[in-house]
Amino acid sequence: MSLITPDFGLLFWMTLIFGIVFFVLAKFGFPVILGMVNKRADRIETSLRQAEEADRQLKEMAEEQKRMIEEARREQARILNEAAASGEKLIQEAKEQAKAQTSAMIEQAREEIRIEQDTARRQIADEVTGLAIEVAEKLVRGHLDTAEKQSALIDKMIEEARANRNPVN
């Protein structure tokens, strides 16, 4: 069968041509392409790694940012709280001071009122005493406007004095 008998001529040409093709492609064809493809693959790999690194850094920075914002917020809250507390304290203090002052003023006013009252009372008492003396004077003067009346009173007084002394003897 000629179909399954290798033809010498074709084998010869095949050896020659395939040899040349293989030599040329192995020298100038595939190594060039493979080298470039590998180069690009390496590049892609490094780029990927770099991108990953950048992504990681970005994430870290975002994390940091978030952390800082959180911290700032906490700080803000703390300051606000503090301000509120100190404000309250101030108000409280002011209130207390005002209270104290008020009570002091009230106390003083009371003291003054008391002093005034005392003075007034003393004055009233003095006045009443003077009035009483005046009234008494006027009364006495009315009773003793005549000699008889005077002598009668003297008598009565002596009598009274005697009566008072006798029981003691």
Which residues of this protein are in contact with other proteins, per CB under 8 A?
A: 2-15, 17-18, 20-22, 24-26, 28-34, 36-37, 39-40, 43
The structure tokens 């700032």 sit at 72
CB closer to other proteins, 9 vs 142:
9
Cα 127 from chain centroid?
63
Min dist CB 28 to other proteins, Å, is 6
CB closer to other proteins, 24 vs 131:
24
CB closer to other proteins, 7 vs 134:
7
CB 150 within 8 A of CB 144: yes
Min dist CB 50 to other proteins, Å, is 14
The structure tokens 């009566």 sit at 163
Strands (E), the chain: none
CB closer to other proteins, 31 vs 87:
31
Min dist CB 48 to other proteins, Å, is 14
CB 123 within 8 A of CB 114: no
The number of helix segments (H) and strand segments (E) in the chain equals 3, 0
Min dist CB 54 to other proteins, Å, is 18
